[in-house]
Amino acid sequence: MNYFSSKFKLGILGGGQLGKMILYSTRKFDIYTCVLDPSKDAPARLACDEFTVGDLLDYDTVIDFGKKVDILTIEIENVNVDALEKLENDGVKVYPSAKTLKTIQNKAHQKLFYRDHNIPTADFSRFAYTSEIDEAVDNGGLSYPFVWKSAKFGYDGQGVKIVKRYTDLIDLPNVECIAENLIPFKNELAVIVARNTKGDLKTYPVVEMEFHPEANQVEYVICPARIPDHIAKKAELVALKTAAAYEHVGLLAVEMFQTEDDDILVNEVAPRPHNSGHYSIEASYTDQFEQHLRAILGLPLGKTESTVAGVMVNLVGAEDYTGNVLYKNIEKILAMDGVTPHIYGKKQTRPFRKMGHVTIVNEDIDKARAIAEKVKRTIQVISE
């Protein structure tokens, strides 16, 4: 099929920052794009050829949108999977598949999938409701501390809480959830695996993620991860095993723990471009967004090696500010060598909302990390 400067239409469910960045590459290739998002002010609205406002979880809305495109992809997992199954049956190509998404959407199903496929992951218990956890603790089937995770609709630190005592459970929503063993770990790592429609596979280098202790959001992504080669190889092999089990098409970001004993455990996955791959726009031969397109279109996969070391800093709303966004001191970080800000186009800031990211590239990973620290201290996402 001719995808370029043709009548071919690519549909994207979700018009947030990931959708916007996928459109960097569709513009480069002159691929016609249609985007569906619930917000009329979505970041991707200006860069696509057709923009539709609609609910991603509404069956009829997704069906109507999907019927007018040739290939349908996502930038967010929370979409109506029943509609995707129907579209697949009607001949629309959907990547990742409805089957893959159905498993990944629910963290309990995701964890059971790892267990069934002998993929290493932290032990867990599954509950229909949070209120059942008390009884499990009383009966000795579960003990503090553990990690509570909502089975559905968790993202960017939402729907996850470390439970150290009974009182930590009080304000949690009474929903389907899992209680996961709290793993002592040295590092949180991630590997992005690309797989195209022909089954060709490529992995990006292992990255290291540093988290904000309160917001439970990634603060820094460091590539390459500062770990021994044999640990990096082990993480890559676990990521490839996970991708093979899902038989996904597109990108699969595999988040992992490196334990104190140097075991690698899968935490969770995302079947799309991911925060842990943003560095690749400046630091890789082929960035993750172009690679996602190559994969779902069945094109040859691009080179995944880095051209230079890279660190990504997330720009999130400062704690005490809500309203029209202002990027204070952005000109100061632009004066630093190797620093590139990406502003997502969200007009309103609120505490911990992802508003953009900054990539820092340098031949020396330690220098890049030091500049990243300086960037983090300098720029502030506040309101007017």
**196 carries a ligand binding annotation:** no
149 is in an annotated binding site: yes
Residue 231 maps to a domain: yes
Is 87 among the annotated ligand-binding positions?
Answer: no
114 in a structural domain? no
Q: Is 88 annotated as a binding residue?
A: no
- Band of residue 216 on the pLDDT scale cut at 50, 70, 90: low
Distance CA 212, CA 232 (A): 23
Backbone angles phi, psi at 334, to 5 degrees: -65, -20
135 assigned ligand-binding residue: no
DSSP codes, 310-375: EEEEEEE--TT--EEEEEETHHHHHTSTTEEEEE----EE-TT-EEEEEEEEESSHHHHHHHHHHH
pLDDT tens, position by position, 232-285: 999 999 999 999 999 999 999 999 999 999 999 999 999 999 999 999 999 999
Confidence of residue 158 (pLDDT cuts 50, 70, 90): confident
Does 208 show up as a binding residue in the annotation? no
Q: What is the pLDDT of residues 263-276, one digit of tens each?
A: 999 999 999 999 99
Q: Are residues 161 and 193 in the same domain?
A: no
182 is in an annotated binding site: yes
Range of the domain at 62: 9-94
Q: Provide the pLDDT for residue 153.
A: 76
**Domain-embedded: residue 361:** yes
Q: Are residues 142 and 234 in the same domain?
A: no
Is 384 annotated for ligand binding?
Answer: no
181 is in an annotated binding site: yes
Residue 240 domain flag: yes
| Assigned domain for 339 exists | yes
Instruction: Give the count of domains, the chain.
Output: 3
Domain boundary among 147, 181, 215: 181
State the pLDDT confidence band at 155, using cuts at 50, 70 and 90. low
Does residue 213 register a pLDDT over 90? no
Domain end call among 143, 160, 181: 181
Q: Find tokens 């660190």 and name the residue.
A: 311
pTM of the model: 0.95
239 with 222, same domain: the answer is yes
